[in-house]
């Protein structure tokens, strides 16, 4: 066998084994998260500190959700994710951190009482959606936008049952919402009902009240 053919065969075997690693990650996540009830997934920037107003708002929101019988799910990292895990844990609730292994940026926060480590982004994204009864999106970057539009696309195309998608921080989101209305809707790229999937609510207590309209606890 030539060296080139040996390398081709080795790469083929590696690709085949990757399937089993993906399956194992799915199985571990499902076994863990199937025990989580009424999960509200909270997203937001990893780059804010404990003195940031949105950190404080996320912490308070998560505490109120836990006090009202919801579990809180985050990406398990710092910033808004840390705040949400911290608030849920302080209230004695289920505080889930689904951390993604990244070489430089994300380290798990210490406040999640249920922790899952992921290698594959796409598996983590499936789990965020599968075990959520609502999404709450605070100001964030590319990752936050990715999760927001993933949920909107799945709900719009009816690939999943619709659930509340709430944006907190009207001053942060108003530019995006204006662009979607004026440009996307204005050019017939989306329907008016698509924008109705999204609600902007700044008050954490009002967020909890809104979610409770859709969930039987």
4 in a structural domain = no
Residue 14 lies in a domain: no
Is residue 16, in this structure, part of any structural domain at all?
A: no
61: domain CATH number is: 3.40.50.450
Residue 125 inside a domain? The answer is yes
The pTM (predicted TM-score) of the whole model is 0.90
Beta bridge partners of 118: 100
In a domain, 31, yes or no: no
Q: Which domain holds residue 117?
A: 37-212
Euclidean distance between CA atoms 215 and 217, whole angstroms: 6
Q: What CA–CA distance (Å, rounded) separates 191 from 12?
A: 44
Mean pLDDT by 10 residues, the chain (217 residues): 47 73 94 95 96 98 98 96 98 96 76 94 95 98 96 97 97 98 98 97 98 90
Please check whether residue 18 lies inside any domain of the structure.
no
Number of helices (H) and strands (E), helices first, in the chain?
A: 8, 7
The pLDDT of residue 2: 53
Quote the number of domains for the chain: 1
Neighbours of 6 (CB within 10 A): 10
Residue 106 is predicted with a pLDDT of 64
- The partner residues of 72 in beta bridges, in order of sequence, read 40, 95
């Amino acid at each position: 066998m030539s060296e080139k053919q040996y390398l081709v065969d080795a790469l083929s075997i590696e690709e085949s084994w990757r399937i089993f690693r993906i399956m194992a990650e799915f199985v571990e996540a499902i076994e863990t998260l199937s025990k989580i009830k009424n999960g509200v997934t909270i997203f937001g920037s990893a780059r804010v500190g404990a003195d940031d107003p949105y950190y404080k708002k996320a912490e308070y929101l998560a505490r109120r959700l836990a006090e009202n019988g919801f579990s809180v799910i985050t990406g398990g990292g710092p910033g808004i994710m840390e705040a949400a895990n911290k608030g849920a844990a302080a209230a004695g609730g289920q505080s889930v951190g689904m951390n993604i292994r990244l070489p430089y940026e994300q380290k798990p926060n210490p406040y999640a009482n249920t922790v899952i480590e992921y290698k594959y982004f796409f598996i983590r994204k499936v789990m965020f959606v599968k075990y959520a009864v609502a999404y709450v999106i605070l100001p964030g970057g590319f990752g936050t936008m990715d999760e927001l539009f993933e949920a909107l696309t799945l709900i719009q195309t009816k690939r999943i049952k619709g659930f509340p998608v709430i944006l907190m921080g009207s001053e942060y989101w108003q530019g995006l919402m204006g662009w979607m209305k004026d440009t996307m809707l204005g050019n017939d790229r989306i329907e008016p009902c698509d924008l109705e999937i999204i609600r902007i609510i700044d008050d954490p207590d009002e967020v909890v009240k809104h979610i409770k309209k859709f969930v039987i606890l």
